[in-house]
Structure 1
Amino acid sequence: MERCGDRFCTLPDDVVQHILGFLPALDVVRTCLLGWRWRQLWRFVGSLNRFIRQVLLLRDPGAPLDECEFDLRGYSRLYGSCPDLWIRHCTMHRVQVLQVRLYAEERVKLAGWSLISQRLVRFELHGLDLEESFLDFSSCPVLEDLKITNCLLDADKIVSRSLKHLEITGCELCWQFVPTQISAPSLISLQLDDYVGVTPILESMPLLEKASIKLGQNNEEYCNFCDNRGSGECTCDMCHIY
């Protein structure tokens, strides 16, 4: 039996696991070196702040994962389809808050499958190539907050009946003059900022209270001639697309 050399020894396992949840994942795993009791505690931690290789696969499969953040800042090149596996693994562990931030030279594509989660409430994505099937959140009935930054949205439609807050910043939307439709009837707040492409078509949003849409000069609908009140008739395609 291990001797108790600090106050942590007197704390129940669930309290220690909660405290460990505030540490980076690497530090959490390192606690297994502290003693016999610590060898198993990290496997049940409900919140992981940083992803390291194989950490999720080593966690106890029966332990719920309340919150998980993948932040690969500093990794300019990523190979394979790892984000798909990370996200699938997290949803299998009933994650409620999931953040995936990649900063690779080339965006990693997420395509060919729809996200299914009965527990996911908040979802943040950065630096990914997202196709239509992945942006259909019909199988995420409690998803309320969705934040997408610096992503390519290759989709005709973004769908969610439960979504309340949507933020899309610095993204590329459908290059071929085909507006993306946003179907989110429960939406309360909407922010579209600094995006490239055609402004999305918004379906009925009877609960919407706050909306902010800001076009930049790289937007497909931005016309410098019209913006500066040029004289005569503008001949740009976007002024006549509708």
Structure 2
Amino acid sequence: METRSAKKRKIQNPNHSPENYTGEDRITDLPDAILHHILLLLPIKTIVRTSILSKRWRTLWYTFPDLDFTSIIPSIIPSGTALTTTKIVNLKNLGNGNVITRILSLRDKLSDVRTLRFDAYMSFSGLQALIRHAVRLSVQELDIRVETSDIFNFPRSIITHDCLRVLKMKAYPSFRLPPSRIMRSGFQTLQTLSLSHVYLDNQSSLPDMFTDCSFPQLKKLRLKACYSLKYLRVGCRLLEELVLKKCSSLQGLEILSLRLVTLKVSNCFRVSNIYWLQINTPRLRTLIWVNNSIPSKNCMQNLVCLHEATVGFLVTQQDLDAERLRNMSSFLSGLSHAVSLTLERPIVEIMSKNNPLVAIFFNPFTKLKSLELQTSEILCLASVLKVCPIIHTLIIKITCIYKWERRRNRLSWDLSSSWEEKYWESQTEDLKHLLHHLKVVKIQGFSEYEISLVKFLLQHGKVLQDLILHLGDNNSRAYRRHDKLKSRIMGFSRGSVDVKLAFH
């Protein structure tokens, strides 16, 4: 029962409102699991501050399963400083590895850690101690971003940890992997592995590292900046996603994961490297292959489920010869089952400027429904469109490189404009199948320099439904020019009565 003095104090309190007072703390009475879920939405600084509210909230902090220290700026803590709850609340040193280790030591007998993320500068011995604490707390997801004074060895205490499901490790300057025979002794429960800045001084070839023996449960693998790696073989049976980035020394890549769904490879093969590929992934649905040189030899088998592909090569017209064009054609032929395809600017321009060879080397994409082309010029795109006869969606993204040159001499553009109209008219028979399937066209960066293509599509597109033009210039000076351009386009004859024009 409430005493008379307590009731008097409440009445005297200006913030007291009888209508709002219920006499109970409903939040504190919630189960631990629900409160942990609520705290997960807050920065760790705020979570630590709640520990001073009461004994119950102190327990919540000590048992909180998801510790994310990445939002805290690292700083140096004086050696010998005693760590108490009050000093933790000061939150000045939580980003330091030593403090994280001490926080984990307070929980050794209280609660396991489900997720641990940190970004800190520390010594290798400090990192080893921190990871040993995390292993004792049965950590399931470990995200390490660490900076050390020198290259260090991969912490072996992680390898045999039988609770680990996710491991992400990024180090500066880099770290060494243990030999394959040691890696095969652990990681039996790991499902996601991400390694960044790996130094492979004595392991330029990894033919048996990523196999079922080492990673029987692995579903996601990401390797970034693996220095000196020349040959990689990936054969994990359950692998569904593979990402390779900035492994620029690669000369050979073999992928034999039959359940792979997503493959992303970027900045991994230098122009000077002669390299080969072997990819056998019958369930692959998404392929992103950009900023790599053209493979000298490739064997891409069974890509029968491929849905979406993005391809871009590091090659220029000056470096191209018949052999490289044939190799590029062989690579693209392996994508013949793709439903949606994006070709970056170098490929588009090479195919456009080698029209006779394209007809010889490139096989038609008979299943392709959507095509996106990134180019700096529209002229001669017909050679690309010829090998995509049944697409219903065409997206063209135009850069402004060639437009600057044409603007220097307005008269030359006026003369070439009529020539371009005649050129597109001459392609009508070769593009006959395309013009009977194409329904949606989007042109980004559109200007008067592409008007001949628009006129051709409007006049000959038999089933065209939507023509969407994103105007390149949006400044005040361009409004009058845009109005004239729109009026001119609206006056073109149309091969389809259902076509709708949209300007953005």
TM over 0.5: yes
SS at match of 1:119: coil
The equivalent position to 2:146 in structure 1, one of 82, 102, 112, is 102
Which residue in 1 is equivalent to 2:56? 37
Q: CA RMSD in A?
A: 3.5
Aligned to 1:163: 218
1:130 paired residue among 148, 153, 176: 176
Task: Please name the residue that 2:162 is paired with.
Answer: 118
| Counterpart Cα distance in 1 of 2:196 and 2:34 | 35
Distance, in Å, in 2 between the alignment partners of 1:13 and 1:97 is 20
| Pairing 1:90–2:134 present | yes
1:140 CA displacement = 2.5
Q: Report the structure number with the largest CA radius of gyration.
A: 2
1:139 aligned residue (158, 170, 186): 186
C-alpha distance in 2, partners of 1:132/1:181? 17
Task: Go from structure 1 to structure 2 and tell me whether the alpha carbon gap of 1:60 and 1:30 turns closer, same or farther (over 3 Å shift).
Answer: farther
Alpha carbons of 1:58 and 1:173: their partners in 2 closer, same or farther (altered >3 Å)?
farther
Identify unmatched segments of 5+ residues in structure 2: 1-22, 71-93, 276-292, 297-314, 324-504
Q: How many residues align?
A: 222
Deviates more, 1:157-166 or 1:133-142: 133-142
Following the alignment from structure 1 to structure 2, what is the Cα–Cα distance between the partners of residues 219 and 169? 19
Match of 1:64 in 2: 112
Distance in 1 between residues matched to 2:177 and 2:110, nearest whole Å: 31
* Counterpart contact for 2:251–2:274, Cα < 8 Å: no
> Which structure 2 residues correspond to residues 215-230 of structure 1 after superposition, within 5 A?
215-216=267-268, 221=273, 228-229=319-320
Post-superposition offset of 1:104: 4.7
Identity %: 22
Cα offsets for 1:176-195 (capped at 9, x unmatched): x5x34444232222121211
Does the CA-based 8 Å contact 1:22-1:47 persist in structure 2?
no
Structure 1 residue 50 displacement after superposition: 0.8
SS in structure 2 opposite 1:195?
coil
CA contact (8 A) 1:161 1:183 kept: no
Higher relative contact order (CA 8 A, sep 6+): 1
Label 1:8 to 1:165 Cα distance change in 2 as closer, same or farther (>3 A).
same
**Alpha-carbon shift at residue 57 of structure 1 (Å):** 1.2
Question: Equivalent residue for 2:67?
Answer: 48
Contact 1:168–1:191 (8 Å) recurs in 2: yes
Cα 1:149–1:220 change in 2 (3 A) is farther
How far apart are the structure 2 equivalents of 1:114 and 1:185?
A: 22
